[in-house]
């Protein structure tokens, strides 16, 4: 019976996504929805599940390969079919010869090896076929040991950054990544920037220390934020909106909807007001072309919302905000925030944003500089509202004031445009009736 071809399903408009982990081997029996491989984009990791129960006949990918939608992952003999692959149950180690076999057959080699002789090998990476398979005395988990065999890496030569010196997957991948070229003078440069790296320091010389590994979200978000900060000339414009009336109306709605299981927060009104401001000033709803010589103006309004989770910050996207009312937006915000905190966001939940809002209103602050979420050109930062005396022409009256901070890409947005956009946004928030126009 012919084997079923298992391919990469629709993962959004991601392409050239690296395979960072393989959960099965030829001969393994899998159930429907069991994870087969893990992909890692610059925004999220994605497990690709098995579409049916059966036996893995033949893997078609290896760690380090880059795949897209439709790429063949493996051949699967579904339940009832006869497997042509001998059972590997009980086999725990891959031999060095088996690791070298794909290269001998002319297939693409794993990350960290090379078909041509190289002048230098990253520390810990062995020649294919010369890697130990037992790693006796090494503090590492089974998945890390297996990946090390596949990548021809000697774990005994790697220093672990995990608890009690445990070698993590990141330690292993760092060992096989090409080392950045050294700039003049020998100082290590941050990859792709030419900026000298901060020198390493032994903090233990000054007192007791502990090493806490970054969460997966932090490891993914860090390079994205760094890239945005280095590539975009950031400027931040600050303003304040009198939200006394709109907050009173929000509280009325919130009281009425508690029984329905969702809350109405100021963020829903900020999203609607942002859409109106983006319509008025379409440059802020754009992205630069790859050649940086034109703007791509968007006729849709998808708003990203920064969500604080136990593992770090993520930015899910609420789509078509212009077509939704406050109640619908509030329900979607609640559902999306819950998915983010539970770690259940999919790739599609993180794509397609036009403009991002980062709100620290539940915590505090008086203002901050949010980093533009490239390829967007602007992001709105919001902190806690405060009661302040406002001059009304004859007397001061206490009003609820909301500080706003708009960071923008100065290549696309100049200061005057940013000021007009922010003031327009403030005017909308100061009179809820304007949101209906």
List the catalytic residues.
410
Backbone angles phi, psi at 417, to 5 degrees: -65, -40
Instruction: Using alpha carbons, select from 408, 13, 336, 371 the residue that is nearest to residue 222.
Output: 371
SS3 of 290, please? Answer: coil
Six-digit token pair at 320?
A: 């078509």
Instruction: Using alpha carbons, select from 410, 60, 373, 86 the residue that is nearest to residue 235.
Output: 410
Q: How far is CA 244 from CA 248, 250, 271, 272, in A?
A: 6, 10, 18, 17
Q: Would you give the end-to-end CA distance of the chain in angstroms?
A: 63
Strand-pair category, 35-40 with 45-49:
antiparallel
Instruction: Report the distance separating Cα 161 and Cα 167, nearest Å.
Output: 6
HEC profile of 111-145: CCCCCCCCCCCCCCECCCCCCCCCCCCCCECHHHH
Measured in whole angstroms, the distance separating CA 320 from the mean position of its chain's CA atoms is 22
Cis peptide preceding 375, ω within 30 of 0? yes
Instruction: Report the distance separating Cα 161 and Cα 171, nearest Å.
Output: 7
Q: What pairs with residue 381 in β-bridges? A: 358, 405
For residue 282, the 8-state DSSP code is G
HEC profile of 58-101: EECCCCCCEECCCCEEEEEEECCCCCCCCCCCCCCCCCHHHHHH
Strand-pair category, 72-78 with 307-309:
unpaired
């Amino acid at each position: 019976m012919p084997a079923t071809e298992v391919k990469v399903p629709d993962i959004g408009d991601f392409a050239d996504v690296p395979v960072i982990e393989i959960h099965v081997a030829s001969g393994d029996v899998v159930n429907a929805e069991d994870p087969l491989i893990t992909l890692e984009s610059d925004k999220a990791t994605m497990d690709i599940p098995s579409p049916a129960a059966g036996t893995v006949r033949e893997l078609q990918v290896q760690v380090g390969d880059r795949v897209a939608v439709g790429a063949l992952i493996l051949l699967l003999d579904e339940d009832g079919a006869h497997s042509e692959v001998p059972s590997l149950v009980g086999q725990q180690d891959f031999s060095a010869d088996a690791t070298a076999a794909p290269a001998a057959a002319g297939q693409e080699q794993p990350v960290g090896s090379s078909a041509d002789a190289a002048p230098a090998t990253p520390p810990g990476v062995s020649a294919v076929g010369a890697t130990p398979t037992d790693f006796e005395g090494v503090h590492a988990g089974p998945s890390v040991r297996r990946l090390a065999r596949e990548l021809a890496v000697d774990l005994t030569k790697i220093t672990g950054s995990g608890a009690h010196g445990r070698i993590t997957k990141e330690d292993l991948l760092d060992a096989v990544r090409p080392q950045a070229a050294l700039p003049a003078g020998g100082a290590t440069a941050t990859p792709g920037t030419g900026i000298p790296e901060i020198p390493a320091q032994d903090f233990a010389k000054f007192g007791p220390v502990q090493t806490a590994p970054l969460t997966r979200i932090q490891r993914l978000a860090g390079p994205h934020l760094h890239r945005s900060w280095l590539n975009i000339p950031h400027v931040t414009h600050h303003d304040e909106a009198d939200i006394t009336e709109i907050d009173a109306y929000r509280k009325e709605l919130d009281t009425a909807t508690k029984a329905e299981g969702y809350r109405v927060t100021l963020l829903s009104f900020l999203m609607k007001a942002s859409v109106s401001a983006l319509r008025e000033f379409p440059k802020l709803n754009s992205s630069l072309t790859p050649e940086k010589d034109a703007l791509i103006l968007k006729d849709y309004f998808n708003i990203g919302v920064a969500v604080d989770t136990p593992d770090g910050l993520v930015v899910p996207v609420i789509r078509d905000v212009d077509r939704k009312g406050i109640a619908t937006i509030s329900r979607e915000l609640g559902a999306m925030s819950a998915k983010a905190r539970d770690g259940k966001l999919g790739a599609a939940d993180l794509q397609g944003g036009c403009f991002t809002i980062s709100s620290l209103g539940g915590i505090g602050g008086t203002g901050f500089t949010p980093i533009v979420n490239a390829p967007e050109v602007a992001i709105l930062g919001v902190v806690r509202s405060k009661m302040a005396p406002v001059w009304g022409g004859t007397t001061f009256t206490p009003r609820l004031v909301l500080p706003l901070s708009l960071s923008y890409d100065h290549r696309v947005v100049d200061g005057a445009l940013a000021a007009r956009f922010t003031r327009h946004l403030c005017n909308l928030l100061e009179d809820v009736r304007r949101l209906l126009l």
